[in-house]
Each structure stands twice: as C-alpha cells, then as structure tokens.
Amino acid sequence: MADEKDVMRARDISQVSAKQRVGKVLFHILVYAFLIIMALIILFPFYWMIISSMKTYEEYIRSVPTLWPHEINVIANYSNAFSQASLSRLFLNTLYVGVVSTLLSLVITVLSAFAFARLEFKGKNALFAALLATMMIPGELFTITNYQTVTVFGWMNTYTVLIVPFLVSVFYIYLLRQNFLQIPNELYLAAKVDGTSDIKYLWKVMIPLSLPTLISITILKMMGAWNSYIWPRLVTKDDHSLITNGLRNAFTANDGTTNYPVQMAAVAIVSFPLFLVFVFLRKYIMKGVSRSGIKG
C-alpha cells in the first residue's frame, strides 16, 4: 500500500509540474506575442514613412494605399527633398543652435547643481524647492511670457531668441544635483583642507564621476533642440528656420498641393540622425538617469 501511495504521489507531483511548465510556456507565448504586436504598431509609422518616401506622387494619392511601392522613386524624391527644402541650410541652423545652447546649458546646469549639492548658503533648500515648483507650470505659459519678453528685447528672427530662453532646465539641474549628492562629502571636505578651490574640485572630481549623467543631459538637450517646433515657428522666419519647422511648407506648391513623397523623404532624412543617436547612445542615457538616484 505504501508503494502504491508513493507512486500516486509521484504521479500527482509530475502532473502538477507538467501543468506548471505548460503554464509558464503559455505565459511566455502571450508576453512575447503582446510585445511583438506592440512593436509592430510602433514601427508601422516608420515603415510607412520609408515606403512613402520611395513612391511616386501618383501612387501616393491613390484611393487604395499600397504597402510596397510599385515603382521605386528613391533618387528623385531624396534629391528633390534636399534641393526644395534647402536641407543643408536647415541642418546648419539646427546644428548651430543645438551645439551653442547645449554648451551654455551644460555650464549653467553644472554650476547650479554643484551649488545646490555642496555649497551652504541661506535659503538654499527654499530656493531649490521653488525651482522644482516651476516644473508644475505648463510650458505654454512660459511660451507666452517668453514671447512677450523677446519682443521687447528685439530678439525676433535671430539665433539669440532660439538659444537664450531655454538655457535653464530645472529637470537637468535636479538630475545632476542628485548625482552629485551620491559623491561622498568627505572628498569635498578633504579637498578644502588641501586648499583646493571649488571650481578645481568640481572640474577634477565631480564632473569625471558624474560623466554618464552629463552625457545623458547632453544627448537629451541636443535632441530637444533638434525636435523643437513650436517656439522656432513663432519667433523666426526662413533665414533662421530649424529643421523641423522648415519642412512644414517647403513642399507645398502655389496651388496648394503638397508633394507628400518628397516631404516623407525629407522627414526620413531628418529622422535618421535621431535614429543613430538612439541606437548607439541609448545605454548612456539609461545609465546616466539610473545613476542619479533618489538621494536628497
């Protein structure tokens, strides 16, 4: 009898184990199926952009869309995108604004984060709390007040109006401050005993230790300048247009028709640098954000 009970118990255990294995397999199948479906939904707009940039205008305006071009027209569409939209000028404008604004923003962010993380002065915590409170204000309100300010200063249709109003980012200051707080304060006190100045300590110690976060801030700032649309469209004209708002009406003829395949080709060209940034630098973004922690 004992042997029969042991056999039955072993059989029950094997059945339960088999059901658990089947359940795990089904769970993984459902998870991967969901992920694949979501990936296809996310990637389809990019696929549509690419195939549209290869179509002729006649094929694009058909009532029944095609999932693959019957006649590939890559060379003509992409060459027209460069010539009609003056992409080289738009690239240079965007690159200049992005580089200058990123460098100046890094200087302001580093100095502000160091002051809030290491220096002691009256009202530091209250001032930092007030800065964090500004993150709850809708960005549209800043757009209205900034527009009024730059109009009074006479900065309209200049590079200055594209760079200065958004040099300070409270989020970047908070991110870097949290990273600075993870560096032991004993290093700072020891450096002060040795007679090291604050700027030298910041340059020699804190910046190298916080380099991943600084790389993340640099990438995010450049991407923000590259994708900026509403503000440049409000305050600049053709000579100072950036890459995003410069493509808005570049392919619309006088009769109101838009050459959508050529426009899609221009959009693909503009999106390619951001795609490269995401592919090759995404680990630095994730590493820099994860290192910021929640201390403070």
CA angle in degrees (0–180, nearest 5) for 96-100-171 = 125
To the nearest whole percent, how much of the chain has pLDDT over 70? 89
Least confident among 46-60, 72-86, 108-122, 239-253:
239-253
Q: What average pLDDT does the chain have?
A: 83
Task: Give the Å distances, CA to CA, from 77 to 70, 92, 96, 256, 277.
Answer: 15, 21, 27, 19, 25
| pLDDT confidence of residue 289 | 59
The runs of H, that is alpha helices, within the chain are 2-53, 57-60, 74-85, 87-117, 124-133, 139-153, 159-163, 170-181, 185-193, 198-201, 207-209, 211-227, 230-235, 243-246, 260-291
Distance CA 271, CA 277 (A): 10
Q: Is the pLDDT of residue 294 over 50?
A: no
Strand partners, 258: 252
| pLDDT confidence of residue 287 | 66
What is the fold, at CATH topology level, of the domain defined by 83-291? MetI-like fold (1.10.3720)
| pLDDT confidence of residue 104 | 93
The pTM of the full predicted model, rounded to 2 decimals, is: 0.75
**Most confident listed range (15-29, 138-152, 281-295):** 138-152
Both tokens of 23, joined, read: 């359940």
- When pLDDT is cut at 50, 70 and 90, the band that residue 11 belongs to is low
Both tokens of 24, joined, read: 């795990």
For the chain, what are the domain ranges? 2-53, 83-291
- 70-102 pLDDT, tens per residue? 888 888 888 888 777 677 788 888 889 989 999
- 161-197 pLDDT, tens per residue? 989 888 888 999 998 998 888 888 888 888 888 888 8
